[in-house]
Structure 1
Amino acid sequence: MELVRRRVATRALAPGEKLPSIRGLAASMGVSPSTVVEAYDRLAAEGLIRSRPGSGFTVVGSLPLALAEVAPPVDRAVDPFWVSRQSLDGGPDMLRPGCGWLPAAWMPHATLRRAVRTLAKADDALLTDYGATRGSLALRGFLARQFAGEGLEVGAEQILLTASGTQAVDLIGRLLLQPGDTVLLDDPCYFNFQALLRAHRVKIVSVPMTPTGPDMALFAQALAVHRPRLYITNAAIHNPTGATLSPQAAHRVLTLAAAHDVTIVEDDIFAEFEPEPSPRLAVLDGLARVIRIGSFSKTLSASVRCGYIAARADWIEALIDLQVATNFGGPSPIASEIVFRAMTDGNFRKHLGALRTRLAKKRREVSGMLEALGIRPWLEPRGGFYLWCCLPDGCDAAKLAQAALREKVVLAPGNVFSIAQTAGNWMRFNVAQMSDPDLPAILRRALKSAAD
């Protein structure tokens, strides 16, 4: 196949020209005719050559010129989409301390490969059919058992699998929000909450985050003044701050939400990174007015996309209809099967334990490195891979991110997480993405450039 591609690319074989016969090429290369047949069939499937009955194989056309991926503009506005696009579209030589996922080398490859191999023995329907509207019963049953271990009694029928955690938020927004409604977010918060809510054309109001939860006085004031429809938050290892909700704050949030008829969406995506479970709004509330969402992208694979929603039965029924309308069925049955097989693999729990230990060590190491540069972590998180840091006095995080990008380093400046735009000298660092030995020197140069 490479021989034919090379000859076409160098114009040794012109469009319309006949390829060597199967037997002739097999003899000249010292391979079996069946090997040449398979190579020609694959090239025909790619569209490079064509089979003409009675005439052998001919070249369809020349290979297109190799084009580099188009990178996002460096000088575009530093907003919630800036970090996402730079992180997702950057080349393999890009360092990503600002991205929101673990390095590929840290993920459970062996577990995933075993799960993928099981697909070879799966029923034909799993490989070809649409997914059931609620998603895989096996995976939903697994999640229900996990939730029961936390004290959240919920049946599999109250769990809806989605294409991703982002789609889970989108579906909830479609169900519960109308343009012009108000949604309450933490400040700072996960930047894609903002991007998605703006697509729903709602008003966003924020409340400052503290190390133990939202500022309760301002939270109560925001509910009374703005009367939001939803409050969206992370309870376990808050993104980006790493804060953990205290029992007192959890109780107060639920009490105020009930008094003001606010529905809470609790994103549980970082729960597996905690050494011990912290208070969960969904558990304390029993899914009366709290909706739990999550996905497996942080601990298992961001490539095998699958999320979930756990909520009241009537809401799940309405969400199913919305998912059918927007996705025609549940998430990919193949993705759901891979997730189920991987999550129930005995080695996955061992992987998580080792990952928590590795991250704890890395957080300490990166904290020391950053402090030596004058960058101070806000708090020491109980788990996870983020450090929310204050930059040296007078340093603008957006300028620092732009300076670092010129040296192929993607950073996540504070104001992309802040609705109120009060985090101009803050930065979120992903400690797992900070192993390159050149990074301290790059950050030092970028700090100097941002201060000039």
Structure 2
Amino acid sequence: MPNTVFDLSVTSLEGGNLEWPFLHLKRGKETNLVEQIFVAVSQMIAQRELPIGNKMPSVRQFAKCNGISTFTVVEAYDRLVSSGLLASRRGSGYFVARTEVAAAPPALVFQATPTAIDTLTPDLYSGMSGALPVGAGWLPPEWYGEATILEAVRHAMKIPANRLRGYGHPLGFPSLRQHMASTLSDKLYAVEPDQILLTHGATHAFDLILRTLTKPGDTVLVEDPSYSNLLSLIRYHGCVPVGIPRNETGLDLDFLAQQLSQCAPKLMIVNTVLQNPLGTSLSQAQAHRLLALAEQYDFWLIEDDIYRELAMPGEASLAAMDGLRRVIRVGSFSKTLSPVFRVGSISASNTLLPELARIKMLAGLTTSEINERAVYHAISARHYRHMLERLVVQLDAGRERLIEKLAELGMKPIARPRGGMFVSAGWPGAQSEDWNGKLVADLALKAGILLSPNEFFMLSKPANVWFRFNVAYADTPMLYKFLQTIKPESAH
């Protein structure tokens, strides 16, 4: 079967009953057993090998037949139920519900020869490279306040002995959720601790949301440009990303309305404040119109709100305007503390949060209470607010110096940031095969500099060559000396 990650055959057990699919599953770290089972059973249903009303084997039977864990089967069956292909009847099991199947997700393709960008990606996230991380998404520890972080870790390690049993609370460390609920209720919107689910960072939060709310073939709207990992994650789930242009003035809401008349998206992911990579924020008017469109066309809004604490007070908040009815808010502490903690959050309605928690437990059980305790001690310390104020001042000063220096090199911001840690800037000339972000990133890597080129963030083809610069690492002679040697006219 070409272009698939499995070889499907059916074995007959108990008198030839076709309820017993035996799948030749590919095993290994580059494969996903749940995805293989989902696609295989979907195809069997579409080809009428499993007709409507046919009873599926029990979870235990399916697992035994295929030599896999019941955990894997439960997650695969849940995805089939969510897609409408199977129905679950209490006390009776699982049955085929319909035969219409959404387009199968594309097979996972692994490149044998990485491009310049592929080779950069691990270093940009690991922090282990010796190269200057100009394109990184985190700040140096000294900018956060190393003493604050280390003190929080020491407090967290004093965990009571009785907390060393079990996996912890499914929603996450209760004290941290209580503190977050109190802070959010004071500053943005009313929320209860049980409406907050802690995650392994924002990317984990997006993954759980996609697992819960989408199925292969669904349309997911994203900003263009947007967070680089997000586009790959959406495709991994078999969904179709559709880009909505975003520039210095915000989202192109007219283009969005046009797209909504042609497709029926399940959700849209929006960076309301200090958008990555542009550093811009939506106006109150744009946020209200976006909510109105979501209401009119009935889709979820996922608010990526991880830069809120670096923004000026009073910026638009979709969650505050909506009250978590149609909006799901994603938060993180990686930008204001340290990414090493890997603590993020989802705030959602009382009706949706339990299902998100169930998927979290299915996909990986609970999150780290040690990390969550450390974050709690850090953000509840008296000097945390002062640390944030100093950080914002430092970022503002560094950002202005960087913009001024880039201008001297002929580079202009593609949008004027309203704050935060990024400046995206480039040259005005059109890109080509001989002059593009990949080419410059490759040259920078050879010079010991990690850049984040436009291709990381764009769903559409970039018109010109630009990069996302981290304010904390970019204001250095090393980078400026390199950029002086890289000019559009010298690339031809």
Q: Which amino acid aligns with 1:411?
A: L
Is 1:130 matched with 2:167? yes
Question: What amino acid is aligned across from residue 213 of structure 2 in structure 1?
Answer: L
Gaps of 5+ in 1: 1-72
Query: Using the alignment, how far apart are the partners of 1:234 and 1:248 within structure 2?
Result: 15
Q: Is the CA contact 2:222–2:269 (under 8 Å) kept in the aligned structure 1?
A: yes
Aligned partner letter, 1:308: S
Q: 2:192 aligns with which of 155, 160, 175?
A: 155
Give the secondary structure class of the aligned counterpart of 1:130.
coil
Secondary structure of the 2:336 match is coil
Q: Unaligned 5+ residue runs, structure 2?
A: 1-110
- Aligned match of 1:302 in 339, 351, 356? 339
SS of 1:207's partner is: strand
- Asked if residue 76 in structure 1 is aligned to residue 120 in structure 2, the reply is no
Relative to structure 1, is the Cα distance of residues 83 and 280 closer, same or farther in structure 2, using a 3 angstrom cutoff?
Answer: farther
**Cross-structure match for 1:384:** 420
C-alpha distance in structure 2 between counterparts of 1:377 and 1:424, whole Å? 12
- Contact 2:455 2:462 survives alignment (8 Å): yes
Give the Å deviation of 1:448: 6.5
**Structure 1 pair 169–118 and aligned structure 2 pair: CA distance change class (3 A):** same
Task: Please say if 1:438 is aligned against 2:478.
Answer: yes
SS across alignment from 2:487: helix
Match of 2:456 among 409, 416, 432: 416
Code of the residue aligned with 1:373 in structure 2: it is: L
Alignment partner of 2:398 out of 357, 362, 373: 362
Larger deviation: 219-228 or 358-367? Answer: 219-228
Give the C-alpha shift of residue 149 in structure 1.
1.8
Please identify, of 203-212 and 87-96, the stretch whose mean Cα deviation from structure 2 is larger: 87-96
- Work out the percentage of aligned pairs sharing the same amino acid: 35
1:101 to 134, 138, 154: 138
Larger Rg: 1
Are 1:190 and 2:230 an aligned pair?
Answer: no
Match of 2:275 in 1: 238
Structure 1 residues 146 and 82: alpha-carbon distance in aligned structure 2, compared to 1, 3 A threshold: farther
1:283–1:400: structure 2 CA closer, same or farther, 3 Å change rule? Answer: same
Instruction: Name the aligned partner's letter for residue 399 of structure 1.
Output: L
Residues 231-240 or 117-126, more deviating: 117-126
Q: Aligned partners of 2:344 and 2:478: how far apart in 1?
A: 36
Tell me whether 1:339 sits opposite 2:366 in the alignment.
no
Structure 2 contact 125–137 (Cα < 8 Å) conserved: no
Amino acid at match of 1:350: H
TM superposition shift of 1:423: 4.6
Taking the TM superposition and a 5 Å limit, the aligned residue runs for 1:207-226 are 207-226=244-263
Map of 1:110 onto structure 2: 147
The answer to which of 207-216 and 225-234 deviates more is 207-216
For 1:121 and 1:396, how far apart are their aligned partners in 2? Answer: 51
SS across alignment from 2:406: helix
- RMSD (Å) for aligned C-alpha atoms: 2.0
Distance 1:298 1:90 in 2: 14
The residue that corresponds to 2:447 in the other structure is 407
Question: Residue type of the partner of 2:483?
Answer: L
CA change 1:147–1:194 in 2 (3 A) is: same
- Counterparts of 1:417 and 1:82 in 2: how far apart (Å)? 16
Distance apart, 1:275 and its partner CA:
2.4
- CA distance, structure 2, for counterparts of residue 102 and residue 450 of structure 1: 32
- Residue 143 of structure 1 corresponds to 180
Cα deviation 1:423-451 (Å, max 9, x = unaligned): 54222111111243222111222337961
The 8 Å contact of residues 102 and 432 in structure 1, kept in 2 or not, is answered as yes
Residues 403, 450 of structure 1: 8 Å contact kept: no
Asked if 1:229 is matched to 2:269, the reply is no
- 1:238-387 maps to which residues of 2 (within 5 A)? 238-329=275-366, 331-387=367-423
Cα-to-partner distance string for 1:33-53 (whole Å, 9 max, x where unaligned): xxxxxxxxxxxxxxxxxxxxx
Task: Using the TM superposition, give the Cα deviation of residue 76 of structure 1 relative to its aligned residue in structure 2, in angstroms.
Answer: 2.4
Structure 1's 181 and 158: CA in aligned 2 closer, same or farther, altered over 3 A? Answer: same
**Within 1, Cα distance between the matches of 2:269 and 2:193?**
23
Letter in 2 for 1:254: L
1:129 Cα offset (Å)? 3.6
Secondary structure of the equivalent of 2:468?
strand
Contact conserved, 1:115 with 1:341, CA < 8 A, in 2?
yes
Provide the secondary structure at the position in 2 that maps to 1:189: coil
Q: Distance in 2 between matches of 1:410 and 1:76?
A: 16
**Secondary structure, in 3 states, of the residue corresponding to 2:132?**
coil
CA shift at 1:161, angstroms?
0.8
Q: Given that residues 144 and 336 in structure 2 are in contact (C-alpha distance below 8 angstroms), is that contact kept between their aligned partners in structure 1?
A: yes
1:267/1:294 contact within 8 Å kept: yes
| Structure 1 residue 308: Cα displacement | 0.6
CA distance, structure 2, for counterparts of residue 352 and residue 84 of structure 1: 28
Deviation at 1:185, TM superposition (A): 0.4
Q: 1:88 aligns with which of 125, 128, 137?
A: 125
Tell me, yes or no, if the aligned pair for 1:271 and 1:277 is still in contact at 8 Å: no
Q: In the superposition, relative to structure 1, how do residues 218 and 159 fare at CA in structure 2: closer, same or farther (>3 Å)?
A: same
The normalised TM-score by structure 2 is: 0.73
Change in 2 beyond 3 A, CA 1:78/1:208: farther
Q: Describe the SS at the equivalent of 2:325.
A: coil
Q: Verify the 8 A CA contact 1:389 1:426 in the aligned structure 2.
A: yes
**Once the 2 structures are TM-superposed, how far is the Cα of residue 78 of structure 1 from its aligned partner?**
4.9
Relative contact order higher in (CA < 8 Å, ≥ 6 apart): 1
Change (3 A) 1:104 1:450: farther
Q: After TM superposition, give the deviation of residue 324 of structure 1 in Å.
A: 0.9
8 Å Cα contact 1:190/1:240 also seen in 2? yes
Aligned mates of 1:150, 1:423 — CA distance in 2 = 39
Question: Closer, same or farther in 2 for the Cα pair 1:98/1:299, shift >3 Å?
Answer: same
